[in-house]
Amino acid sequence: MSRLIANESGFTIVETLVGAMLGLIVIGVAAAVFGVAQRSQPDQVKRGTSIELARTTMERLTREVRQGSTVYPSTATQLSLLTFVHSASCGGTAANTAIQCKVTYTCAAGSCTRIVAPPPGASGTAGPAVTVVSGLSNSNVFSYTPTCSLTSTSGNPGYICATLVFPGGTGDDAITLQDGAEPLNPTSSS
């Protein structure tokens, strides 16, 4: 009988308790990591959606600037230009043909709106202000210089640069989208 007891193999109660505690710690850490990821996921989706919308807005803005012919006096928070838009009438419904309209982007309180109106001297009413991007940390979006690295908004607006800055969730993870374009036939208007 003593030979059987001496040859028995297995875990002692202390080894079993230590193994169980280590298993519970690993499961607890995994559950905590999963919980944090699950709670932050809606914020990440919202931020990703905002950034994708900003990219689309940036593409539209640069396309409209390139197609533009007249840039009206503008500021760091507003851009107004005469350009082509796919619409049946300025401020009207979308169409397959493009007509020349006055497009104004206005940025304030962390969001930018776009208004399409008939060109100066033409009849018709402006369309509604449509929010094209929101969640910005700075409303000073536009600069008018030879390159985007300069910040002057004075002089001939030959090159129009747009900078969209989204705040970071933890301080240093802000996202900046920047692009610019020059109108095909730039003219200055007062």
Per-residue pLDDT at 26 exceeds 90 = yes
Global pTM reads 0.71
Per-residue pLDDT tens digits for 100-142: 999 999 999 989 999 999 998 888 888 899 999 888 888 899 9
Q: How far apart (Å, rounded) are the C-alpha atoms in residues 76 and 174?
A: 20
CA 164-64-62 angle, to 5 degrees, is: 40
Q: Are 136 and 153 in contact (CB under 8 A)?
A: no
Which residue, 117, 64, 54, is CA-closest to 90? 117
Please, are residues 122 and 140 in contact by the beta-carbon 8 Å criterion?
Answer: no
Tokens found for residue 151: 């910040």
**Residue 189: per-residue pLDDT:** 46
pLDDT at 29 over 70: yes
Please say if the pLDDT value at position 151 is more than 80: no
- Nearest C-alpha neighbor of 95 from the set 112, 116, 78, 81: 116
What was the pLDDT predicted at 57? 86
Residue 4 has pLDDT above 80, yes or no: no
